[in-house]
């Protein structure tokens, strides 16, 4: 395994090192799956991927965390826009003031303690962000702006069709895939034109697939937590149901038909993601391995949810077995090539 954040560790200064260490620890707190795989990637893209993920996580937190009090739509939008203003001029005096303002709002705006801590420590994330070269920062901010635009769109718009679901998933998960792919395509010295085009053609599918797996898996939890539901509205109309009706055992047959539709839709991305992963050049084999782990776990999770009533009636979200997880970690690329 490559040394963690080795490239940027050459930066001196106690404040920078403290900020870097914070980002590493925060990643462990806010995403177990990406904390497992991001450290596998090559050193020249590792820190930008880590920081990009944390910044996207903050945007996502303002979008959908329920807060410690009722958060208005306008408050969410204002916070998301302030976040982007900060990232566009991270070294300015105004950015530091705005970061402090967001940090002070976290106690009321953010209920999840790990996400709240992330917002409160935004200045540390910005310290690492500012260390990147201008091309990397421009790329990161451009994709985050696209994410911000789409998140705000779907704060005001429901997901009614599978086309809407694709668009929503693109904004929240496809844009990070675009950022990662651009890092690979612009930094690779061995990427041929054909594989470069394959990466570009299929970059969205990787993010859409993982996001759809989460949307299916977390349905019951989202209902119980009064979260917004992203299963297309036409499915509920078709069966004359509202989302909460799917938690009632008397609707089990209809539940399983809706579940089939959601899993079938997510499965459409499997072959494009395989093509995407196989097109990643050997010089980024670590990135490919990490992405393959996330993909393989997603496929295994879909398989475990097929015909599984626990999606609706279980006490916890469906998870793959420890044995399946260990098999994936032992040979993620074997899964992709099979």
Cα separation, 124 vs 238, in Å, equals 49
69 occurs within a structural domain: yes
What CA–CA distance (Å, rounded) separates 80 from 91? 18
Dihedral through CA 132, CA 137, CA 143, CA 147, nearest 10? Answer: 80
pTM higher than the cut 0.75 = yes
Residue 255's domain spans which residues? 158-338
In a domain, 151, yes or no: no
Q: Which two tokens stand for residue 317?
A: 């979200």
Distance CA 174, CA 193 (A): 22
Is 1 within a domain?
no
pLDDT, tens digit only, all 338 positions of the chain:
445 555 544 444 678 889 999 999 999 999 877 888 888 899 999 999 999 999 999 999 999 888 888 899 999 999 999 999 999 998 888 888 999 999 999 999 999 999 999 999 999 999 999 999 999 999 999 999 999 999 999 999 999 999 999 999 999 999 999 999 999 999 999 999 999 999 999 999 999 999 999 999 999 999 998 888 999 999 999 999 999 999 999 999 999 999 999 999 999 999 999 999 999 999 999 999 999 999 999 999 999 999 999 999 999 999 998 898 888 988 888 876 66
Instruction: Tell me how far apart the alpha carbons of residues 236 and 229 are, in angstroms, rounded to a whole number.
Output: 11
169 with 196, same domain? Answer: yes
234 lies in the same domain as 265: yes
Do residue 127 and residue 229 come from a single domain? no
Q: Domain count of the chain?
A: 2
Assess whether 111 and 175 both reside in one domain: no
Domain match, 265 and 326 both: yes
Which CATH number belongs to the domain containing residue 188 in this structure? 1.10.600.10
- How far, in Å, CA of 122 to CA of 265, rounded? 36
């Amino acid at each position: 395994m490559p040394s963690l954040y080795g490239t940027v560790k050459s930066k001196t200064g106690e404040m920078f090192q403290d900020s870097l260490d914070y980002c590493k620890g925060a990643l462990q707190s806010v995403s177990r799956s990406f904390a497992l795989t991001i450290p596998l990637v090559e050193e020249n893209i590792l820190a930008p991927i880590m920081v990009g993920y944390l910044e996207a996580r903050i945007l996502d937190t303002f979008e959908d965390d329920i807060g410690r009090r009722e958060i208005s739509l306008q408050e969410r939008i204002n916070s998301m826009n302030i976040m982007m203003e900060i990232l566009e001029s991270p070294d300015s005096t105004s950015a530091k003031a705005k970061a402090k303002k967001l940090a002070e709002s976290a106690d009321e705006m953010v209920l999840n303690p790990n996400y709240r801590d992330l917002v409160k420590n935004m200045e540390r994330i910005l310290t690492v962000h500012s260390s990147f070269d201008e091309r990397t920062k421009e790329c990161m901010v451009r994709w985050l702006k696209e994410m911000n635009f789409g998140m705000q769109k779907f704060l005001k718009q429901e997901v009614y069709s599978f086309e809407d679901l694709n668009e929503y998933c693109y904004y929240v998960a496809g844009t990070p895939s675009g950022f990662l792919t651009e890092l690979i395509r612009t930094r690779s010295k061995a990427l041929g034109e054909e594989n470069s085009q394959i990466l570009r053609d299929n970059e969205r599918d990787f993010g859409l697939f993982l996001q759809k797996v989460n949307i299916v898996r977390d349905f019951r939890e989202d209902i119980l937590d009064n979260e917004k539901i992203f299963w297309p509205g036409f499915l509920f109309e078709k069966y004359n149901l509202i989302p909460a009706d799917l938690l009632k055992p008397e609707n089990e047959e209809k539940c399983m038909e809706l579940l089939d539709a959601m899993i079938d839709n997510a499965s459409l991305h499997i072959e494009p993601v395989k093509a995407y992963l196989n097109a990643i050049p050997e010089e980024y084999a670590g990135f490919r391995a990490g992405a393959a782990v996330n993909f393989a776990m997603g496929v295994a999770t879909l398989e475990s949810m097929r015909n599984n009533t626990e999606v609706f009636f279980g006490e916890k979200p469906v998870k793959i077995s420890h044995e399946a997880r260990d098999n994936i970690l032992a040979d993620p690329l074997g899964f992709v090539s099979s």
